[in-house]
Amino acid sequence: MKPLLYGPNNKPIRARNFDAAKGTRYTNDWVAGTGPADNAIKQDAKSLRDRARDSERNDGYIEGALMALESNVIGQHGIRMKSLARRADARSKKGLSNSADNNARAKVEEAWEDFSRRGNFDVTRQFSRAAFERLALRSAVRDGGFLTRTIEGFPKNDFRFAVQGIEIDALDPHHRNDAARIYMGVEFDEWDEPIRYHLRKMDPKSGRYTRETFAVGGDNMIHTFLARRINQSQGYSWLANALLRLRHLAKFEEAEVIAARISANKLGFFKQTGEAQYTGDEDDDGKAIAPSAPGTFETLPHGVEAQMIDPAHPNSAMPDFRKAILRGVSPGIYVNYNTWAQDLEGVSYSSIRQGVLSERDIYKILHSWFIDTFEIPLFERWLRMALMMGKIEGYTLLDFDRLSHVEFSGRTWTWVDPVGDIEAIEREIALSLNSRERAAKDRGLNIDKIIAENEADNAKLQAAGLPTAVGKSAGIEVPSEAREFETLKAKFDAYGVGVRAGSITPQMADEDAFRTEAALPPMGAEAKGAWSEDKGVRRPITLQSQGAFAAAQSALVHEADPHEQGEMADESDQHEEEEQAAG
């Protein structure tokens, strides 16, 4: 036991090992909750959810953050699936070989793509898979969770399978039954695996949830939420640590705008003299009311003088204050400040690159989370029904294990220098540090589809009598303009270094060659004359002929004093000898 200290009134105080745990007059208002994660969530989940939804409607920063997460985690085309179906092999323990079943892969991918279309995917027939995924993510971020019920036997599509989106409001956070192991509306087994979800029924007249519930088995429900603690039954809004700051910012901006409008509206007042009566507006208590409108003058009541307010609005500190708030908020909602707030002032290429790369690493983590909690459970349930309904031709439910091998990938990004990216990939592949399949995957592409599309393209080109070989691998060089410029610049730089080092003597043929390669105009008459006079050999950094150079040196010598003339003449003779030796 730690020794006791004695504070005011000789009350014992236990010594703390951490400053943040000490109770002082600065931390007395810091009251932290204790107990399991569910204790804090069930108390505030609804209030957080309602405020997050209100902010989504009224705060552009919140809407921008939600859209940024949708764009970077799900993307335009949704989470991509690649089948890794393998051939059967009775000799192996699992009955699977390591060789790919390309026919099965193509059919699984085709059926999944068909199911993902709008009209097939959900029970309302209003969402494609990509649109539903974006909605599920937005709901999980804003509300703290989202429920997806999988409907087997759905009558309105050929797969007999669809999903039903359910907002997390249906899962009552206060529904608890310790005997049945029901916590926050979720029933768990002895290993804390969710086995049933107790959803509240909705009153069709009022559109509100009632206290009456019905159970849905865990095998038919996907509960998408980001768990931050073990044994957490529900999630809470990802915006929890941002809402209060952004609320303060919104109200601050509102007050600044109102103050600026008031200061701009009123021009002045007319002061009454003598017995004139006030003719302006009054409230029910007889108090004068002075409306605020642009370019107005008001008449004051008798005996009243105006106390003018001269507010300095808009506040010059407002931009810095806004930046401070948004920079403090952005890490907690997983968005980059500069791109989220559209603030690129003072940003360098290297700093924005580092910030974007760090942000993308976070998005990759969220890719994995969404794939694990939503995509894989959904795919496995769909595949089972698709095989039962014969939607994957030539395969039955007995093939489930070998067809269930898939790989999902999230949205990918390109950089601002696509030529440099491609060249880097080429070098990595040449050095066996990368593969074409992995490079395609990193770009969100399917290498099998690329190969098939290239084969189809080549067949069309052959049928049209056009060449099919493109690129270095086919023996044909197709350089881009950027590649040509960089190659030419490298040649010029190397040549210049050699000239300055004295290892290369410039010649007329060199200039002709470089002008031709760089598509520059041919040499003019003056330049040709200088080259001819020098017999095709250029002196360093000058276009003067040898005669002109000697004449200029002679003029300098005559203008100098006798002592300097001798030194300059010696230097001129030495220069001539060096030029002749170089020739």
* DSSP codes, 202-226: E-TTT--EEEEEEEEEGGGEEEE--
Give the Cα separation of 86 and 140 in Å (integer): 35
Mean pLDDT across the chain, nearest whole number? 81
Instruction: Look at 54-63, 77-86, 193-202, 478-487 and tell me which has the smallest mean pLDDT.
Output: 478-487
- For 324-375, write each residue's pLDDT tens digit: 899 899 888 888 888 888 787 777 767 777 788 888 899 999 999 999 999 9
Q: Indicate the SS3 state at residue 331.
A: helix
Q: Is 331 exposed, middle or buried (0-12, 13-18, 19+ CB in 10 A)?
A: middle
**Whether the Cβ atoms of residue 82 and residue 406 lie closer than 8 Å to each other:** yes
Give the Cα separation of 402 and 405 in Å (integer): 6
Position with higher pLDDT, 47 vs 504: 47
Whether pLDDT at 111 is above 80: yes
| 230 φ, ψ (degrees, to nearest 5) | -70, 150
Q: Indicate the SS3 state at residue 81.
A: strand
pTM: 0.71
Strands (E), 203-316: 209-217, 221-224, 266-270, 281-282, 288-289, 296-299
Whether the bond between 331 and the residue before it is cis, its omega within 30 degrees of 0, is no
Two structure tokens written together for 47: 């209030």
> Band of the pLDDT at 475, cuts 50, 70, 90?
very low
Q: Up-side HSE of residue 112: CA atoms within 13 Å toward CB?
A: 27
**Whether the Cβ atoms of residue 138 and residue 125 lie closer than 8 Å to each other:** no
Give the Cα separation of 446 and 448 in Å (integer): 5
Cα separation of the two ends of the chain: 95
Position with higher pLDDT, 190 vs 259: 190
